Amino acid sequence: MRYQVPQFIEMEPKIVGPFTLRQFIFVAIGAVIIFFLHFALSGVFFIIASLPIAIIFAALAFAKPEGIPLPKYIGITLSFLLSGKKYSYTNESASQQMGQIIPSEEGRKEAVAAQEQQEATKTKEGDVIIEKYQ
């Protein structure tokens, strides 16, 4: 049995005309702000004030730096800038060795001598190892 798999799974659906819901909301908010600005300001002041607003909301609606929508990109950037930057590295083998006591050179020699003495007290008879008790 064949199943039809959508080609563009990560693509947002177009809700209002050629716009996705997110794009439409940003364009609508920018248009409403400019609409009210039209009544508050006149002539050149209206154009000077509305141009940055239009650019900002158009960028929020359509810009995708590095393939990420601009509002999400701004959120990621702010969380990076406001979070702590102190990273600590812990070596697992070093942390496991912390509990071990490492003997000095003299201690090693004594441990090797004790091990050799213990092996010397064992005798081998055929395949059976018999340990001598002192």
The model's pLDDT over 83-120, given as tens digits with 9 standing for 90+, comes to 887 777 776 666 555 656 666 777 778 878 877 777 76
Residue-level pLDDT at 61? 93
Number of domains within the chain = 1
Domain carrying residue 44: 14-82
Whether 66 maps to a domain, the answer reads yes
Better-predicted residue by pLDDT, 120 or 50? 50
Read off the pTM.
0.55
Whether 24 maps to a domain, the answer reads yes
> Average of pLDDT values for 63-76?
92
Residue-level pLDDT at 23? 92
Whether 36 maps to a domain, the answer reads yes
Cα–Cα separations (whole angstroms), residue 42 to 45, 49, 94, 106: 6, 10, 71, 93
Q: Are 17 and 27 in contact (CB under 8 A)?
A: no
Question: Picking from 55-59, 60-64, 105-109, which range would have the lowest pLDDT averaged per residue?
Answer: 105-109
pLDDT in tens, 29-46: 999 999 999 999 988 999
Whether 129 maps to a domain, the answer reads no
Whether 119 maps to a domain, the answer reads no
Mean pLDDT taken over the chain: 81
Which of the four pLDDT bands, split at 50, 70 and 90, describes residue 56? very high
Contacts of 88 (CB under 8 A, 6+ apart): none
Residue type, 21: L
Q: Are 57 and 30 in contact (CB under 8 A)?
A: yes
Better-predicted residue by pLDDT, 67 or 57? 57
Whether 37 maps to a domain, the answer reads yes
Whether 47 maps to a domain, the answer reads yes
Residue-level pLDDT at 124? 52
Whether 133 maps to a domain, the answer reads no
